[in-house]
């Protein structure tokens, strides 16, 4: 601040020097009356300089306040965006754990409360309390979870939007449009989620697996069937045929891979790529829930343990030794056929 004060005084002195130099060089004044003119002009210069100095000081302070407010707003917006992103992760995966709610509470205490009015913070905490009611609950129906938590997630977003005061809001109409769009997207999202979760579960139980693939969504006997590459053009196949939902496990290799010809199920037709060893999921599930593959494929709600059980059945199928493989498992068969 001292440096700024020197600048103001320098401006005043500069005006005085400029005035005297102009008067002497250009003979603006009569020297006989110069003193009186000088004093009159000097007073005017002083007044002008003082006014200018105060205006500059006021402008500088105003710029500093505006710059500070802008930095605070940018930080506030960043904190709010981070918090909303974490909230949306809960909405996106359709489940919540108490650990996640606790992390959100930390964000409120450390980040949100510094830039938010107390009444808004209280609203957010009330919504989080309601969301926590559904933490660690085993929900078979993700749609039901969405309905229970949606108003609280939207409520938190609206509270933060009002705090920034830029006019944003998820009102009833926007909420309806979001729900309509979600109804169309959710089956696809759930189907991809099921596939990724099953892939992770299967890999945790079977180490000898390569690339995971899903056949294209076309009208055929291999629509959205799951394939894991094992080795040497041999695959683990999980899916139905003809879209009938009847879930089978099979070892599969394209017919052109002649090294496996003695172990093929058929010599021609749609099952010519299947190995002799295949099985229906019901033979593993026994008296437990039998997954309909159409429910999996179409992203419909599944029982909470459906994918874990399915992964366990796949492991049992994979590691078994089969008479049709010469009392070998699939790994030993691949090694024998590719010597």
Q: Is the pLDDT of residue 330 over 80?
A: yes
Average pLDDT over residues 145-163: 85
Looking at every residue in the chain, the average pLDDT score rounds to 82
Q: Please tell me the least confidently modeled range out of 84-93, 247-256, 278-287.
A: 84-93
Res 95: pLDDT: 78
Tell me which of 75 and 146 has the higher pLDDT: 75
Answer yes or no: are the C-beta atoms of 192 and 297 closer than 8 Å.
Answer: no
Q: Does residue 117 form part of some domain?
A: yes
Radius of gyration of the chain (CA): 38
The reply to whether 77 and 177 lie within a common domain is yes
Q: Is the pLDDT of residue 5 over 80?
A: no
Q: Is the pLDDT of residue 286 over 90?
A: no
Answer yes or no: are the C-beta atoms of 42 and 16 closer than 8 Å.
Answer: yes
The reply to whether 186 and 239 lie within a common domain is no
Q: Quickly state the pLDDT bin for 324 (edges 50, 70, 90).
A: very high
The reply to whether 159 and 263 lie within a common domain is no
Res 6: pLDDT: 61
Q: Does residue 196 form part of some domain?
A: no
Tell me which of 200 and 189 has the higher pLDDT: 200
- Domain of residue 104: give its range: 71-190
Under DSSP, the state recorded for 328 is B
Tell me how many domains the chain contains.
Answer: 3
The reply to whether 214 and 326 lie within a common domain is yes
Q: Cα 330–334–337 angle (5° rounding)?
A: 135
The reply to whether 85 and 185 lie within a common domain is yes
Q: Is the pLDDT of residue 174 over 60?
A: yes
**Domain boundary at 70, 85, 118, which?**
70
Residue 160 token pair: 């933060």
Res 90: pLDDT: 84
**Domain boundary at 21, 52, 70, which?**
70
The 10s digit of each residue's pLDDT in 211-260 is 999 988 765 667 889 999 999 999 999 999 888 899 999 999 999 999 99
Residue found under tokens 């105060």: 54
Q: Quickly state the pLDDT bin for 23 (edges 50, 70, 90).
A: low
């Amino acid at each position: 601040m001292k440096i700024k004060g020197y600048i103001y005084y320098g401006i005043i002195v500069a005006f005085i020097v400029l005035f005297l130099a102009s008067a002497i060089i250009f003979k603006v004044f009569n020297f006989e009356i110069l003193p009186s003119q000088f004093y009159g002009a000097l007073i005017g210069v002083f007044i002008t300089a003082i006014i200018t100095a105060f205006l500059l000081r006021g402008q500088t302070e105003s710029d500093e306040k505006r710059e500070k407010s802008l930095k605070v707003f940018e930080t506030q917006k960043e904190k709010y965006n981070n918090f909303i992103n974490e909230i949306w992760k809960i909405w996106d995966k359709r489940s919540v754990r108490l650990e996640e709610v606790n992390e959100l509470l930390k964000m409120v205490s450390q980040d949100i409360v510094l830039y938010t009015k107390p009444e808004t913070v209280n609203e957010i905490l009330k919504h989080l309390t309601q969301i926590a009611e559904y933490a660690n609950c085993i929900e078979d129906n993700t749609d039901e979870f969405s309905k229970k938590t949606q108003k609280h997630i939207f409520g938190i977003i609206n509270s933060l939007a009002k705090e920034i005061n830029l006019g944003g809001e998820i009102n009833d109409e926007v909420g309806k449009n979001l729900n309509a769009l979600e109804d169309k997207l959710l089956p696809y999202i759930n189907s991809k989620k099921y596939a990724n979760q099953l892939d992770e579960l299967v890999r945790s139980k079977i180490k000898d697996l390569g690339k995971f693939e899903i056949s294209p969504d076309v009208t055929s006997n291999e629509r959205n069937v799951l394939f894991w590459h094992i080795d040497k053009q041999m695959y683990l196949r999980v899916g139905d045929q003809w879209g009938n939902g009847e879930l089978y496990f099979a070892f599969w290799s394209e017919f052109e891979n002649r090294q496996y010809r003695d172990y093929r199920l058929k010599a021609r037709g749609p099952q010519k790529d299947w190995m002799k060893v295949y099985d229906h999921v019901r033979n593993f599930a026994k008296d437990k829930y039998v997954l309909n593959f159409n429910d999996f494929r179409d992203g419909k709600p599944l029982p909470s343990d459906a994918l874990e059980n399915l992964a366990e059945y796949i492991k049992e199928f994979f590691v078994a030794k089969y008479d049709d493989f010469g009392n070998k498992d699939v790994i030993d068969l691949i090694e024998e056929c590719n010597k």
